[in-house]
Chain A
Amino acid sequence: MGSITLKNVSKVFGAHAVIPSIDLDINDGEFVVFVGPSGCGKSTLLRLIAGLEDVSDGAIVIDGKNATELPPAKRGLSMVFQSYALYPHMSVRANIAFPLKMAGEDKAVIDKKVADAARVLNLTDYLDRKPRQLSGGQRQRVAIGRAIVRQPEAFLFDEPLSNLDAALRVNMRLEISQLHQQLKTTMIYVTHDQVEAMTMADKIVVLNRGRIEQVGSPLDLYHRPDNLFVAGFIGSPKMNFISGSQAAGHQAHTIGIRPEHLVLSKDHGTWQGTVGVAEHLGSDTFLHVNADAIGTLTARVSGDFAVTHGDRVFLTPDPQRLHKFDEKGLAIR
């Protein structure tokens, strides 16, 4: 059904290779998240798959057929845009019906499919409104509705939640995940937010400067990052990196330890330091500790651990959870 394969895909703008060369397999029904910092080529990659940009080289195979030269509409994909890109002068109903109308479907079939999509997305009461009369979350749902009526091979999401406020974003994240469970259609989702990537994905593709750094399940990336970039990008707060003599002691160029894998104590431990800032979240506290001779370390401790600015604390890394990297930044296992 909705498997997508990229073979040697590259994209060059002028003299600048945005995507040097990428090979990637996306299986049917998978929820794949492209994640990376801004400018890493993740949106370009999505647009290449959508057909909104031409590939400079390589092939895109959708559902076993070479789709490299196909126009966007013929690829059987639908896309949800960052700005939603709803048609402002059309009602919600007309917006959702638009792809079906373009496909020349029967009026009765269109009405039924639109009603179905509206029911799934809780939009039934808003069908006759214009997009500007809707809230951000509702617009988002209309955009998704417009995407699902076509029953595409795969959905493409281009940072769909970045225009929503924090609370709504968490909600919509859940709704999109539920939609995926319900439809079992392939979804490709682009985001710069590693939390979205971790919570929604079956498979995360970490991109940096147009290259794939690592592909794997969220927990895979969390526990076994291939390199410094992935180790630093996945997980919040960021992993602490320590180089120099401390790392040499572990036969590595750099060692990394996640904030949650540092054990804190007030009287004994491996490293000693002064608490700079303590961020109390209630359940947890993030401590920014100025460790002597190492630098700033971030530690995540239980909310009960009572410290404030200026306290002396001891930190001990969990040796099982220590990540080691060589001088090229690759993981040593």
Chain B
Amino acid sequence: MATLHTRSAARLMIAPSVLLLLAWMIVPLALTIYFSLLRYNLLMPGMEEFAGLTNYTYFLTDPAFFQAVFNTLAIVLGVLFITVVGGIGLALLLDQPMFGQGIVRILVIAPFLIMPTVAALVWKNMFMNPVNGLFAWLAKLVGLQPFDFLANAPLFSIILIVAWQWLPFATLILLTALQSLDEEQKEAAQMDGAGAWSRFIYLVLPHLSRAITVVILIQTIFLLSVFAEILVTTNGGPGTQSTNLTFLVYAQALLQFDVGGASAGGIIAVILANIVAFFLMRMIGKTLEA
């Protein structure tokens, strides 16, 4: 791979796929930008006209917009917190030798394999339903008023559902990281007089830092665009209490048939995601370099 010849040959070989991928990205982006500058409503076909930045001002001044930005961040941060903390706890537990280890590990991974719509429906109808749900039954068992999760705490409910889905992923990554911790290091720490808690703080947690970084990075990418769970449970409501940016764009395009406004929203979402990515990389890029 070192000679000039092989290098230019390599470049030539990968050129088609690079061009294809570039077009794949550029065309939708360019079209979205183009649509975002048009007055383009599906109910008025053939009436498209150039509208300048009106779509952007309209989208940015929509009172639902700030609520959506806040909800998006709340979902990302809330789910990250639950999955990272819970994932470390579960990984520590699963790392202990126990009876039926293989089966328990598969069971723990199971939620990740269930598709989001199904998972959300299961939660909505079997757990959180105020009449027939498991939680309602438990509440009644101890004599409490059943709590209508999706009506009274919609955002929290969605965070809970999404966290349940992503917990296995975090657990799996953290468990493999945990298993790669050198046994002799643990024994050395034991000899050095470190108790279980000190070993966790000074040995296990630093060892896991890279895996935690990976979990945060990957999950953030997916959590910024949570959609199915919202659609099948709360539909963004009540009001806009559980609407995130993705859902707001969807509502704009397919409930109000405003393709121009939705495109503007999409572009804004891309910009916001990039801002988040920028800070994320700055914050944790250091860990990955080490």
Contact = CB atoms under 8 A, between A and B. Distances in A.
Contacts of A324: none
A73 B191 contact: yes
Contacts of A81: 184, 187-188
A216 interface: no
Contacts of A322: none
Of A78, A102, A103, chain B has the most CB atoms within 10 Å of the CB of A102
A233 B202 CA distance: 43
Interface stretch (B21-29, B64-72, B153-161, B192-200): B192-200
B23 to A, nearest CB: 43
Contacts of B203: 87
Nearest to B188: A85
Nearest to A102: B193
Given A73-B192, A73-B193, A103-B193, A98 B184 contact: no
Interface in B184-217: 184-185, 187-194, 198, 202-203, 206-207, 209
B202 A98 contact: yes
A110 interface: no
Contacts of B184: 81-83, 85
B62 interface: no
Contact of A89 (B189, B190, B191, B206): B206
B49 interface: no
Nearest to A77: B191
B190 to A, nearest CB: 5
B289 interface: no
A235 interface: no
A98 B185 CA distance: 12
Interface in A49-85: 50, 52, 71-73, 77-79, 81-83, 85
A62 B51 CA distance: 87
A139 interface: no
Contacts of A103: 193
A303 B252 CA distance: 94
Nearest to A75: B191
A146 B192 contact: yes
B221 to A, nearest CB: 27
A317 interface: no
Of B184, B188, B209, chain A has the most CB atoms within 10 Å of the CB of B188
A276 interface: no
A102 B194 CA distance: 6
Contacts of B190: 52, 71-73
Contact of B198 (A52, A88, A102, A146): A102
Contacts of A37: none
B209 to A, nearest CB: 8
Contacts of B202: 87, 90, 98
A85 B186 CA distance: 8
A154 to B, nearest CB: 12
A99 interface: yes
B28 to A, nearest CB: 43
Nearest to B203: A87
Nearest to B198: A102
A85 B198 contact: no
Contacts of B191: 50, 52, 72-73, 77-79, 99
Contacts of B194: 73, 98, 102
B207 A79 contact: no
A228 B44 CA distance: 102
Nearest to A98: B192
Contacts of B290: 89
A296 B237 CA distance: 91
A207 to B, nearest CB: 21
A85 B187 contact: yes
A52 B187 CA distance: 7
A89 B187 contact: no
A28 B194 CA distance: 26
Contacts of B207: 88-89
B102 to A, nearest CB: 21
Contacts of A146: 188, 192
A85 B207 CA distance: 13
A143 B268 CA distance: 54
A248 B284 CA distance: 78
Nearest to A103: B193
A72 B199 CA distance: 14
B215 to A, nearest CB: 18
Contact of A102 (B182, B187, B192, B206): B192
A224 B152 CA distance: 88
A78 B185 CA distance: 13
Nearest to A83: B184
A269 B13 CA distance: 77
Contacts of A79: 187-188, 191
A99 B188 CA distance: 10
The 5 closest A-B CB pairs, nearest first, are A73-B193, A85-B188, A99-B192, A85-B184, A102-B193
Given A72-B187, A83-B182, A102-B194, 4 more contacts: A72-B190, A73-B191, A79-B191, A89-B206
6 contacts: A50-B191, A78-B191, A82-B184, A83-B184, A86-B185, A98-B202
